[in-house]
Structure 1
Amino acid sequence: MNKKFAAAVSGGAVLMLVLSGCGGDDGNEKADAWAKNVCDKWQPELKKIETANADIKRVATETSKPDEVQKTDSAAFGTMSESYKAMGAAVQGAGVPPVKDGQATQEAAVKGFEATSKGYADLKAKMDALDPKDQTKFAEGLKEVAGGLQAATQGGKDALDKLKAGGLDKSMNSQKGCQVTAPSPTK
């Protein structure tokens, strides 16, 4: 339906969770255990997000019918909302990370994931409200939804930045559950 929409979604929907370029081995067993707890719970959510993102990209073609785009995108945004909520819950459930300012790091990360969850829920509601029978209005609505993607994902990006700044990047990078491949951008 709209290649720019697909590009915006693929760039914004899946947050890259490898927090820095290389894995670490700093010998911090407590941080590693905390990261393993979180990353093991994140892995199924990351797979759901990747699948939802792929579904959005699949229907974002010139040949897709508006009702198919609406149904697919709405379901994908709903999945992403639930997944980011679950990611925040995993950080909360893991307890305070064993790093300097651990409680503040945890609280900020949970808040960020909750914000992204809400952002995707809002995008789902906007998508559901579009009228696929009026193609002009539908296309305009898609542009508005695509424009909201950056704001929707900002909380999750902030959460990851907070975890990285808190010193958890090396421990999280060493966990297989937190490693995802970034989708290649589409043009």
Structure 2
Amino acid sequence: MNKKLAVALSGGAVLVLALSGCGDDGNEKLDSWAKTVCDSVEPQSKKIASANTAIQAQTADNSKPEDVKSTDSKAFQDMSDAYKAIGAAVQKAGAPPVDDGETKQQNAVKELNGISAAYAGLKKQVDALDTDDQGKFASGLDNIAGELIKLGQSGNNALKTLEEGDVGKAMQKQEGCKNAGASPAAASG
């Protein structure tokens, strides 16, 4: 019953990958901005990867409903906190020094905060599940998995827009974003 949940979760990890652009260029202000963001992204992406791993691990060992509920609840809270922290890092870094930088920044922050709120909502749903009734519990997990799939598909356009062009090139040069891209990908594979 929780396998669908684990598969759905792996889609969420893709959102962090949007913060790890590609290529390279030379712009000191932009590189500095990218370093500020990427230094904050790395620990959060590790938190997201750990949450994914926890859910997948308990799926593999057919855990008891109480354990599934507890693990999922903590994982969703960790993901909510991580996306909120990434949003705060992008907000704190200010607008990247590129055309429409402020719009790109604000759209990314709004999207990251929305993702954070969505995971907080999933945590509330998990916390409300009845572990005494296997059928209701399984059905509840299926509903949550459906929400996760929507969340993963909801798009990361603002993040993609943020990391287009020179911003993405600058971010890719930063170790924090290179490492951030590696962790969630491994967790979702």
What TM-score, normalized by structure 2, do the two folds share? 0.89
Counterpart of 1:105 in structure 2 is 104
Counterpart check, 1:183 vs 2:182 = no
Counterpart of 2:5 in structure 1 is 5
Please list every run of 5 or more consecutive structure 2 residues that lacks an aligned counterpart in the other structure: none
Aligned pair in 2 of structure 1 residues 23, 102: CA closer, same or farther (>3 Å)?
same
CA contact (8 A) 2:38 2:177 kept: yes
Aligned pair in 2 of structure 1 residues 76, 185: CA closer, same or farther (>3 Å)?
closer
**Structure 1 residues 148-157 or 163-172, which shifts more?**
148-157
Aligned pair in 2 of structure 1 residues 150, 63: CA closer, same or farther (>3 Å)?
closer
Give identity over the alignment, percent.
Answer: 51
CA contact (8 A) 2:19 2:163 kept: no
Q: How far did 1:185 drift?
A: 5.0
Q: How far did 1:95 drift?
A: 1.1
What TM-score, normalized by structure 1, do the two folds share? 0.90
Letter in 1 for 2:71: T
Letter in 2 for 1:161: K
Matches of 1:33 and 1:89 in 2, distance apart? 17
Counterpart of 1:54 in structure 2 is 53
CA contact (8 A) 1:102 1:166 kept: no
Matches of 1:168 and 1:177 in 2, distance apart? 14
Tell me which protein shows more helix as a share of its residues.
2
Letter in 1 for 2:12: G
Letter in 2 for 1:66: P
Matches of 2:93 and 2:176 in 1, distance apart? 15
**Structure 1 residues 81-90 or 53-62, which shifts more?**
53-62
Matches of 2:154 and 2:98 in 1, distance apart? 21
CA contact (8 A) 1:91 1:110 kept: yes
Instruction: Find the residue that maps to 1:64 and give its secondary structure.
Output: coil
CA contact (8 A) 2:6 2:56 kept: yes
CA contact (8 A) 1:17 1:178 kept: no
Matches of 1:150 and 1:158 in 2, distance apart? 16
Which of the pair has the greater relative contact order for Cα pairs under 8 Å at 6+ separation? Answer: 2
Letter in 2 for 1:34: W
Q: How far did 1:11 drift?
A: 2.6
Matches of 1:84 and 1:58 in 2, distance apart? 22
Aligned pair in 2 of structure 1 residues 60, 72: CA closer, same or farther (>3 Å)?
same
Q: Count matched residues.
A: 184
Counterpart check, 1:161 vs 2:164 = no
Letter in 1 for 2:32: A
Letter in 2 for 1:59: Q
Instruction: Find the residue that maps to 2:41 and give its secondary structure.
Output: helix
CA contact (8 A) 1:55 1:76 kept: yes
Instruction: Find the residue that maps to 1:105 and give its secondary structure.
Output: helix
Aligned pair in 2 of structure 1 residues 165, 105: CA closer, same or farther (>3 Å)?
same
Aligned pair in 2 of structure 1 residues 152, 11: CA closer, same or farther (>3 Å)?
closer
Counterpart of 2:42 in structure 1 is 43
CA contact (8 A) 1:113 1:156 kept: no
Instruction: Find the residue that maps to 1:148 and give its secondary structure.
Output: helix
Per-residue CA deviations over 1:4-24 (Å, capped at 9, x if unaligned) read 22111123245324544x431
Matches of 2:97 and 2:89 in 1, distance apart? 15
